Structure 1
Amino acid sequence: MKLAFILFKYFPYGGLQRDFLRIALECQSRGHDIVVYTMDWQGEKPAGFVIHQIKPKALAAHKRDKCFHQALINHIEQNAVDCVIGFNKMPGLDIYYAADACYEDKARLQRSKLYRLMYRYKHFSAFERGVFSPESATHILLIAPAQQALFEQYYHTPPERFHILPPGISRDRCAPENAAEIRQQLREEFNIAASDKFVLMVGSGFRTKGLDRALNAIAALPDQLKQSIHFMVIGQDNAKPFWRLARKLGIEKQLSVLSGRDDIPRFLLGADLLIHPAYHENTGTVLLEAAVAGLPVLTTDVCGYAHYIDEADIGCVVQSPFKQDDLNKQLLAMLSDQEAYQQRHENGLQFAKHADIYSMPQQASTLIEQLASQRGK
């Protein structure tokens, strides 16, 4: 089959983008032709992919999205495909991979009434409605089951259009046999002593991921422990506001910020704790990536995958409503208790052996094949 994959922007280090690429490559490995429509592609282009870059000239995001959507619909009408799979919400999709949380819920609970009078809101609300309304025929591949109730609440989406997927963690995140050697090499490379505490944060979108919360938690540590902290942030975003906050808090020397990179597994093995105090997070793939590497996790319960951390005792989950003092106390406790660290490390390694957290690309591809075949009948 000829499969069209749609996403607004591709860059190598985004969670949605990595999910798209793994699913598209899996479909290609099964013999299907892959056509991609995007506004921007950064990084290497996979062999065999036909990539159409459509670059609208509009300045506002909602206007760019609308122009892009109209252009790709026109192109697909002239160049028929067997199935249209979207990774961003928009009308006209056969299948939508639901990486993002319910926009309408966020607009109503986290925004003012004035916001809902703006054209920006009307546009994004209409694009979401185009996927989830009862009149739509779009099937939804859901990676955060809790979101289904919200979409049904706001749009009355028929439940048979939802298809639940397991997580899709890459097995290269699991701790290898030489994990201790890799850990030592990385810490030597970044001048982190064995007795120092290496706190890691991974993810693009520093504001959403809660970098300000993490900095405040580190600043609240007792002075002696604080001096031993190496806090490393890896991701794609503007770090300037957070450097200013670090200077204000007096922890600039503890902070390092690296741009997105391909060797994240090394850092998961080298660190002592992953901190991920997100404001909102549909899933939080990095939580599971840390877990299978044996790295204890400190996160917030708004992350869709936080329940895995709690259930398998691989770390601590700060409950809502969020309180900075709760995060501060949990961070101090996790960095101070070596026995608990070792137990959570072992729990993560056992979790990696038994949990069904690797098969998402394969199951998503099978569903795409099934739904595309039904569409053709």
Structure 2
Amino acid sequence: MRIAFCLYKYFPYGGLQRDFLRFLQEAQNRGYQCRVYCISWQGEQADNIDLRFVPAKAWSNHRRNEKYARWVQQDLVADPVDIVFGFNKMPGLDIYYAADSCYEDKAKTSRGFLYRLGSRYKHFSRYEQAIFAQGQQAEILLISEIEKQKFIEHYHTEESRMHMLPPGISKDRCAPANAQAIRQQFRQEFAVAEDDNMLLFVGSGFIKKGLDRAITALAALPEAVQNKTHLFILGQDKQARFEQLARQLGVMDRVRFMAGRDDVPRFLLAADVLVHPALDEAAGIVLLEALVAGLPVLVTDVCGYAPFIADAKAGCVLASPFNQQAMNQQLQQMLDKAAANQWRENAIAYSQTEDLYSMHATGIDILEQTYQRLQTRVSE
């Protein structure tokens, strides 16, 4: 089977991009020929793929997306494949991985009427309709029951085309037998005392992931607690405005920006709390990475994977609408060592009994079934 993977941009620290790469690797492991269309690729390139760079440049993202889609469609006509697997919303897909939240819902609940008159809205709405509107043909891989219901509400999408995937945590995120030794070594390396509190924020997209909320909660801790608390921030994004906020709140000396990194598991084992007060998050793979590492989580209920934290009793889920004062109080409570130990035990136990790992194999299983149906249509 020849598969075309469509992704606007690849960089190694995005959740969507990491899932893309693992789907790609799963397909390769099954012996399939893989072609990738992207505008740019940061970091080490995947082995044994037909990587085709799309010359799509424009002043706006939506014009760039349109150029990308046209170029890819023209290239596929000239050099066909058996199935097209997309990771961004666009026309012409046979199967789509829905890592992003429902755009139409955000446009109608978080934006005014005038916004929906603009060209940007019209583009993103049209590209979402190309996948989710009733009567379309693309099979849809979903990771959030919340977002699934939003798509059905706005587009009446046929449930027969919608497939809920289990999570897909990499096994290297699980707490190893020497987790305590790794924790101690990390804290020595970064000068974090064992009785200090280490908060961890992970995510590229600081605004969307709620970094300002995390910094504000740090600043609201009682002075004695704050002086023994460090906030480590991992992610690839612009940080100037958040550095300014930390300085304004007097906690810049408690905050460390670490950029995107490949050694996230060490941070998960060394930290005391993962803070993820996102404004919008279709899933949030880092929540489950923290869970299998035994790291308690403080998260907003808008995140698609937040129910796993609640089910595992592995942290605290903040109810909507978001309240900063409630987060501030909850964070202080989560720094209690006895409660944290219980959350850690709950998380590890849950990770050993639940399927949190088979997303990518299941997704390629569905892709194979989709290919068989496409072949049947052609033969008819």
The equivalent residue for 2:370 is 371
**Contact in 2 for aligned 1:220/1:328 (Cα 8 Å):** yes
Q: Give distance in 1, aligned partners of 2:223 and 2:151.
A: 46
Whether 2:106 is the aligned partner of 1:101: answer: no
Deviations along 1:41-95, one digit per CA (max 9) or x if unpaired, are 1111121111111121211110000001000000001111000000000011000
Secondary structure of 1:354's counterpart equals coil
- Structure 2 residue aligned with 1:133: 133
Deviations 1:306-327 (A, max 9, x none): 1111111100011001100110
Map of 1:112 onto structure 2: 112
| 2:256 alignment partner, SS class | strand
Partner of 1:376, secondary structure, is helix
Matched letter for residue 15 of structure 2: G
AA matched with 2:370: L
Superposed CA deviations along residues 232-290 of structure 1, whole A, max 9, x for unmatched, are 00000000000000000000000000111111000000001100000010001101100
Question: Map of 1:153-302 to 2, 5 A cutoff?
Answer: 153-302=153-302
Structure 1's consecutive aligned runs of 4 or more residues displaced over 2 angstroms after TM superposition are: none
Unaligned runs of 5+ in 1: none
- CA apart distance, 1:222: 0.3
**Distance in 2 between the 1:5 and 1:256 partners?**
36
Take 2:124 and 2:345, find their aligned partners in 1: how far apart are those partners?
44
Query: In the comparison of the two structures, how many residue pairs are matched?
Result: 376
- Note the C-alpha offset of 1:151: 1.0
| SS of aligned partner of 1:81 | coil
Which residue matches 1:347? 346
Seq. identity, %: 50
Q: Give the TM-score taking structure 2 as reference length.
A: 0.98
Find the counterpart in structure 1 of residue 82 from structure 2: 82
CA distance in 2, matches of 1:284, 1:58: 30
Retained in 2: the 8 A contact 1:40–1:55?
no
Question: Considering only aligned residues, what root-mean-square deviation do their CA atoms show, in Å?
Answer: 0.7
Partner SS state of residue 153, structure 2: helix
Give the Cα separation in 2 of the matches to 1:57 and 1:228.
Answer: 48
Corresponding letter in the other structure for 2:298: L
| Partner-residue secondary structure (3-state), 1:236 | coil
State the partner residue of 1:323: 323
**Pair 1:15-2:15 in alignment:** yes
SS in 1 for 2:124: helix
Equivalent position SS for 2:145: coil
Cα distance in 2 for partners of 1:57, 1:127 equals 18
1:360 corresponds to: 359
Match of 2:42 in 1: 42
Q: Does residue 4 in structure 1 map to residue 9 in structure 2?
A: no
**1:313 maps to amino acid:** K
Quote the Cα distance in structure 1 between the aligned partners of 2:12 and 2:55.
Answer: 19
The aligned runs of 1:21-40 (5 Å cut-off) are 21-40=21-40
Quick one: distance in 1 between partners of 2:147 and 2:254? 37
Contact 1:197 1:228 in 2 (8 A): yes
Equivalent position amino acid for 1:121 in 2 = Y
* Alignment deviations for residues 211-243 of structure 1 (CA, whole Å, 9 cap, x no partner): 000011111100000000111000000000000
SS in 1 for 2:241: helix
Match of 2:145 in 1: 145
Instruction: State the 1:153 CA deviation.
Output: 1.4
Give 1:135 deviation, angstroms.
2.8
Structure 1: how far apart are the matches of 2:136 and 2:205? 31
SS of the residue 1:267 aligns to: helix
